Amino acid sequence: MNTEKQENSIIEISRNFLIGLKTTIKTFFSKPVTFQYPKERLRIAERFRAFPHLNVNGDGSLRCVACFLCQTVCPSEAIKIKSGYVDYGFEHELTERQKHNHSLDKLGGGMFSDGRRHPSSFEIDLLRCICCGYCEEICPEEAISLGSDYEVAFYSRDEGIYGIEKLIKSR
Ligand code: SF4
Ligand code: SF4
């Protein structure tokens, strides 16, 4: 390398160094754009929607009537439903209000039904869900809605599959 080329290269390096230094000094005195998660949280917009959850009636029963529309419309095939007549679970879990409000038929095994079709199993794979909201839009019973909780993390793929209980709790 001749002397002229060496000089040009030193000038170029010094120039780039000063540009970098300028950026560092400027950023050092400006307000940070990052924050200390999870101590500090993002303020999310009111209209922000994340994962779906299941809605219940005033007496705690599921609004879902297992019509399969959401399962059919879901573009990522994240929803798996099995229909059945079991709604309220085991006898000891029934509240007095539920017993009073519904004429329940005993199905055997200590389980009850209110005579309407409900999902005996309702699962959403949150690892597949793309939060598109089609399930909420298509549901005729307002039984499924998208919530604002986006902070979900799992140690295995199975943990990402939410059943009825988790889908109600995640409201
Ligand atoms: S939000 Fe979209 S992707 Fe997620 S379960 Fe509903 S329809 Fe499927
Ligand atoms: S959540 Fe709504 S659309 Fe989906 S099966 Fe239940 S009633 Fe039908």
Ordered by start, the domain boundaries in the chain are 1-33, 52-169
Which of 5-9, 19-23, 61-65, 79-83 has the lowest average pLDDT? 5-9
The residue whose CB lies within 8 Å of the most ligand 1 atoms, and thus the one to mutate among 77, 128, 129, 148, is: 129
The residue whose CB lies within 8 Å of the most ligand 1 atoms, and thus the one to mutate among 76, 123, 136, 150, is: 76
| CATH number at 52-169 | 3.30.70.3270
Given a contact cutoff of 8 angstroms between Cβ atoms, the answer to whether 59 and 98 are in contact is yes
Percentage of residues of the chain with pLDDT beyond 70: 81
- Measured by CA distance, the residue closest to atom 4 of ligand 2 is 70
Query: Ligand 1 in contact with 54 (CB < 6 A)?
Result: no
- Non-local CB neighbours of 75 within 8 Å, separated by 6+ positions: 130, 132, 134
Judge if pTM exceeds 0.85: no
Question: 31-83 pLDDT, tens per residue?
Answer: 888 889 889 988 889 999 999 999 998 878 889 989 999 999 999 999 999 88
Whether omega for the bond prior to residue 140 falls within 30 degrees of 0, making it cis, is no
Question: 80-108 pLDDT, tens per residue?
Answer: 998 875 544 444 455 555 555 454 444 44
The CA-based angle 41-47-52, given to 5 degrees, is 85
Q: What per-residue confidence (pLDDT) applies to 142?
A: 96
